[in-house]
Each structure stands twice: as C-alpha cells, then as structure tokens.
C-alpha cells in the first residue's frame, strides 16, 4: 500500500536510473490524452477507450464464473437498495471487479472508481467501464503521482458528494481523511477488504480519528477462507508459471507468513514437490505449519539456499537488502501480501545494481559480481499483476462487499457507531448460499427438535461469532 506525503508525492528520484517499467503499453500518459466514449462521455482517464469491446468480452467471461454476485444483482435489482448511494471505489480494476461495479450500479448506486494497485489494472476492462459512462481513473503502469491523482479525481468531483467508500488497502479513506476532512465526516460507511486497510482502520479507531462506521469484510469467513486461502492456492502457481515458466519439483521455497494466504501458497507448492520452509512470528501459526509437515525457520537461516521467496504477511521490510544481498543467483522473489512494502524494493535502486526488464512485470536485478535475482511485479501483488484471480472466488468477495455496502447504507441511525465492525454472520452464510447452486449442493435442514436442542434458528445463523471455521 502506498502512503503519500501530504497529498501528491513526487516519484522517487532514484527511479530515474531504473530502466524500463512494468507497463507493456506506450509511454504516453493518459493524463495527456483527450478521449471520448461513444455517447460523448468524458469523465474518465484510462489508457485507451478504443479497447472497450475487448474489455466487454472479458467482463462477460468473468460473469459466467461469478454466480453469487450475478444472483444478488437479479434478486435486488428491483428494490434498488443502494439508491442514493454515491460510492468512491478504490480496488483492483479487472474483469471481476467490473462485475461488482456494474452490480452496484444496477442496485441504484452512483460510483467513481480508481485502482488500488498501479500494476493490476486491466486496461481493456477500464475502457469497457468508461464506454458504459462509468467514471473510472486507472491504467496499468501508473506512477505514484498518477496513483494519488486518480483517487483524488474520484473523491473530488463537481456536483458529486460521496457518501460511501469501498476500499482495498485504505488509500481512498486515507486521502479523503487527510485532504478532505469535512467531506469525510459526511461519509455514511466504509467497507474495507484488505488486511492492511483494516489495520489502518483499527488504528484510526484507537486514535479516535474514525468518525464514521466501517465494515471489516477482510475478516468475514467468506473473504478470509475463500479469497485468501482457496484463491491464493491457485493463483500463486499461475502467477509464477506465467511470469517465469519455472519448474517447481525439487525447488526450495520459503513462504513468509502462514496465515490464510500463506497456507494457500504452501498447499499448492507442496503439492508440486517443493521443499518448503515457513517463517512466522506467531507461535500458533508456526505450530500449524509444523503440524502440516513444514519446517519453521528464520529467513536468515535459509536465505542462501532457497530458490523461491514469497512474502505473505502484510508487514513491511520482511525481505531487506541484506537478505537480497545473500540470495543465490537466480533466486525468484515475489509478494503475495497486500502491501507493497514487504520487500524493500527501494533499497535495490542504487547505482551499483543494474535493473534489466525481462518481460512485463519481470525484472532481473544484477549485482556487480554478475549475480542476479528475479523480482516479480516490483514487489507488488504478484497474482494480480502477473496473472489473475479465479472469478468464482472474486464472486464470493464481491457479494460480501456488496452486502456490506447495503447494510451500512440502509442501517437505521444508531445501529453502527464510529467504529470497525465485522460482517454479521447471517450475511456470511447468505453469501455462501448464493454460490451453492453452482455445485448442485443441497443443504440438510434441521428439524424443529434438532434446532431446539442446539438452540438455533432453523434459518441460521448456525455458528456463534467466535466459531473458527
């Protein structure tokens, strides 16, 4: 996650020595272009609106694998539960997110959207959204200054006062709170879906700077288990294969962090024959890794020997310059956590190191002695930069986000105070039920006697809030 100086940071001067970028498109900034969509709409800033038809096909393909959010759209479209909602969105912009955006609009919302990651935007999808007269400000390969400019364009629009925020990393919340505090006080609710963003919300709440209610959907069961565990279990392999064509069998790999993301990564790497290590700070997660047959070590103990290093902590400086100096020739380094600070990439932008672009989002960093490491996505989210996330899993997360927005927007006064809340268990179960028909799954129903014995309502919720799935 990027953290700006007061408002717009200047691009790091050291970046001038870096050869190439992760964008495989031309070097003309969209901010210097004048573009018009088919109906004369101009309230957007993207790479190329002419790619709209291609992006529309991408969205249609994604919809086929997103049964839950599509079902929610059909069920709630007539009631328009988000009529009057004006949502600032700051998430990844890809085909799956576009399905969520168009669902929110069909439920009555007005939206303005920016990207939460400078490398994950699908330019053709952004074009398809702009062609539908949706204000979108994002393109793959933004500079950091572009990044904050795009979010600002979503927040500060003429004759448009936002009243809801859908965030992924807390950047829209952060910018509005810092630059537009009066506007922030008029927000009715924030929905946040990342570990990093939720951490920032809890910090604001602890400091008594959070003046609006916020919904933590990252820790909802449907988000944590399905987006973090099952999705990352598939997307980590897809990312590394697409980016490097690596063979996994016999490779030594270390995963830093054994939360849901780390568990998913380890399951797939182990299944393909990797020799696996885990680095952890939490004794409970460390014990889980040990019971799963993995060696728990300190990164320093194995850094000279491992072939693959994956961060999945959400923390900062997990992999430092000292670590990278000691890595073996050809070591593959990438990040699966949200924050772009897990790998200290800035420490590699020094005169004695040479950056060599291999392909989009793949760089060789070469030491004076000829040693090189392979860095993916410049330390940002590798699965959303070098590949894509399974649409079915995004459907689960998107439905969760949509329901959280509906809940906060329609909640009667006093239900939610200026604090951070978890998604109600009943909504978690509803999101899961929307996706069961895809598997032709049939739930068993409790009898009246069974429900009374367990002290449950026959319609749920079926587990207490403290239950660990």
Helix (H) or strand (E) holding 151: helix 144-155
β-pairing, 362-366 with 354-359?
A: antiparallel
Q: Which of 364, 388, 365, 361 is nearest to 377 (CA)?
A: 361
Cα(265)–Cα(233) distance, integer angstroms: 5
Question: Quick one: pLDDT band at residue 63, thresholds 50, 70, 90?
Answer: very high
- SS (HEC) of 283-347: HHHHHHHHHCCCEECCHHHHCCCCCEEEECCCCCCCECHHHHHHCCCCCEEEECCCCCCCECHHH
> Who has greater pLDDT, 33 or 321?
321
First to last CA, the chain: 29
Of 176, 225, 220, give the one whose Cα is nearest residue 198. 220
Model confidence pLDDT, tens digit, residues 141-185: 999 999 999 999 999 999 999 999 999 999 999 999 999 999 999
3-state secondary structure of 199: helix
pLDDT per residue as tens digits for the range 342-355: 999 999 999 999 99
| Alpha carbon distance 341, 314 (integer Å) | 8
Distance CA 256, CA 306 (A): 12
| pLDDT tens-place string over residues 428-441 | 999 999 999 999 99
What is the percent of the chain with per-residue pLDDT over 70, rounded to a whole number?
94
pLDDT attached to residue 313: 94
**Which of 19-28, 343-352, 363-372 has the least mean pLDDT?**
19-28
- In this prediction, residue 224 has a pLDDT band, given cuts at 50, 70 and 90, of confident
369: helix, coil or strand?
A: coil
Domains, in order of start, for the chain: 13-223+391-422 (3.40.50.1480), 232-386 (3.40.50.720), 425-454 (no CATH)
pLDDT of residue 6: 42
Residue 13 has pLDDT above 90, yes or no: no
Return the axis-axis angle of helices 67-76 and 95-106, rounded to nearest 10°: 10
pLDDT at 221: 87
Q: Which residue has the tokens 């989009």?
A: 360
Averaged confidence pLDDT in the chain: 91
Q: What is the pLDDT of residue 338?
A: 72
* pLDDT at residue 272, as a whole number: 96
Q: In this predicted model, what pLDDT tens digit does every residue of 389-410 receive, in sequence order?
A: 889 989 999 999 999 999 999 9
How sure is the predictor about 11, in pLDDT bands with cuts at 50, 70 and 90? very low
Q: DSSP states of 153-172 as a string?
A: HHHSBTTB---EEEESSSHH
Helices (H), 190-302: 195-206, 221, 231-244, 260-271, 283-291, 299-302
For residue 363, the SS3 value is strand
- Looking at per-residue pLDDT, the higher value among 221 and 272 belongs to 272
Tokens of 7: 């408002």
Find where tokens 């959907």 sit: 217
Instruction: Name residue 308's beta-bridge partners.
Output: 253, 332
How much is the average pLDDT of 51-74?
95
Q: Residue 16: which pLDDT band, with cuts at 50, 70 and 90?
A: very low
With pLDDT > 90 as the criterion, what percentage of the chain qualifies?
81
Average of per-residue pLDDT across 16-28? 43
Which DSSP helix (H) or strand (E) runs through 189?
strand 189-192
Q: Write out pLDDT tens, residues 305-342.
A: 999 999 999 899 999 999 999 999 999 999 998 778 99
What pLDDT, on a 0 to 100 scale, did the predictor assign at position 222?
85
Q: Say what the pLDDT of residue 18 is.
A: 27
300 within 8 A of 325, measured Cβ to Cβ? no
Cis amide linkage into residue 435, ω under 30° from 0: no
For residues 339 and 117, give the distance between their C-alpha atoms in angstroms, rounded to a whole number.
10
379 in the Ramachandran plot: left (φ > 0), alpha (ψ -120 to 50) or beta?
left
Name which of 189, 181, 215, 205 is nearest 413 in CA terms. 189
Please check the confidence at residue 49 and state whether its pLDDT lies above 50. yes
Tell me: pLDDT of 426 over 60: yes
Reported as type and span, the H/E element at residue 127 is helix 123-131
pLDDT confidence band for 1 (50 / 70 / 90)? very low
pLDDT at 9: 35
- Binding-site residues from annotation: 259-264, 280, 383
Other beta carbons less than 10 A from residue 3's beta carbon: 11
Query: Closest Cα to residue 92, out of 379, 389, 377, 431?
Result: 389
Report how far residue 295's alpha carbon sits from residue 298's, in angstroms, rounded to the nearest whole number.
10
Residues tagged in the binding site annotation for NAD(+): 259-264, 280, 383
CA distance 243 to 384: 12
CA quadruple 238, 242, 247, 250: dihedral sign = negative
**In the prediction, which pLDDT does 26 show?**
61
Distance CA 339, CA 205 (A): 21
Residue 17, pLDDT above cutoff 70: no
- Token pair in block for residue 130: 């702009």
**What confidence category does residue 15 fall into, taking pLDDT thresholds of 50, 70 and 90?**
very low
39 vs 369, residue with greater confidence: 369
């Amino acid at each position: 996650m990027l953290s700006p100086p007061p408002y717009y940071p200047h691009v790091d001067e050291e970046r001038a020595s870096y050869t190439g970028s992760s964008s495989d498109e031309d070097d003309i900034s969209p901010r210097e272009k004048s573009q018009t969509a088919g109906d004369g709409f101009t309230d957007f800033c993207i790479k190329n609106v002419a790619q709209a038809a291609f992006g529309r096909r991408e969205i249609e393909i994604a919809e086929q694998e997103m049964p839950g959010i599509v079902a929610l759209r059909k069920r709630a479209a007539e009631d328009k539960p988000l009529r009057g909602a004006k949502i600032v969105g700051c998430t990844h912009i890809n085909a799956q997110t576009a399905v969520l955006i168009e669902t929110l609009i069909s439920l009555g919302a007005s939206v303005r959207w920016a990207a939460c990651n400078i490398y994950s935007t699908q330019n053709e999808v952004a074009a398809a959204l702009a062609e539908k007269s949706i204000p979108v400000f994002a393109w793959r390969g933004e500079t950091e200054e572009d990044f904050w400019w795009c979010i600002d364009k979503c927040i500060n629009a003429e004759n448009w006062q936002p009243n809801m925020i859908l965030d992924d990393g807390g950047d829209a919340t952060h910018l509005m709170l810092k630059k537009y505090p009066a506007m922030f006080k008029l927000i009715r609710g924030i929905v946040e879906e990342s570990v990093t963003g939720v951490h920032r919300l809890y910090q604001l709440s602890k400091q008594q700077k959070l003046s609006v209610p916020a919904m933590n959907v990252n820790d909802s069961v449907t988000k944590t288990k399905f987006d973090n565990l099952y999705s990352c279990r598939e997307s980590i392999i897809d990312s590394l294969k697409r980016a490097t064509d690596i063979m996994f069998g016999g490779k030594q790999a270390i995963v830093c962090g054994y939360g849901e993301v780390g568990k998913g990564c380890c399951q797939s790497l182990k299944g393909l024959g990797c020799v696996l290590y885990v680095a952890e700070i939490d004794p409970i997660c460390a014990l889980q890794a040990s019971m799963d047959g993995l060696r728990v070590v300190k990164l320093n103990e194995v850094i000279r020997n491992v072939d693959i290093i994956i961060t999945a902590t959400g923390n900062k400086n997990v992999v430092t310059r000292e670590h990278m100096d000691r890595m073996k020739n050809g070591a593959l380094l990438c990040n699966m956590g949200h924050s772009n600070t897990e790998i200290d990439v800035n420490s590699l932008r020094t005169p004695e190191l040479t950056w060599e672009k291999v392909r989009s989002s793949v760089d060789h960093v070469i030491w004076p002695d000829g040693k090189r490491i392979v860095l993916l996505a410049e330390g940002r989210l590798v699965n959303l930069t070098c590949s894509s996330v399974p649409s079915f899993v995004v459907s689960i997360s998107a439905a969760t986000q949509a329901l959280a927005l509906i809940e906060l927007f329609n909640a009667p006064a006093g239900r939610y105070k200026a604090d951070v809340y978890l998604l109600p268990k009943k909504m978690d179960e509803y999101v899961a039920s929307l996706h069961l028909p895809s598997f032709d799954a049939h739930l068993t129903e409790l009898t009246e006697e069974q429900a009374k014995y367990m002290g449950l309502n026959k319609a749920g919720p079926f587990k207490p809030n403290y239950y660990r799935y």
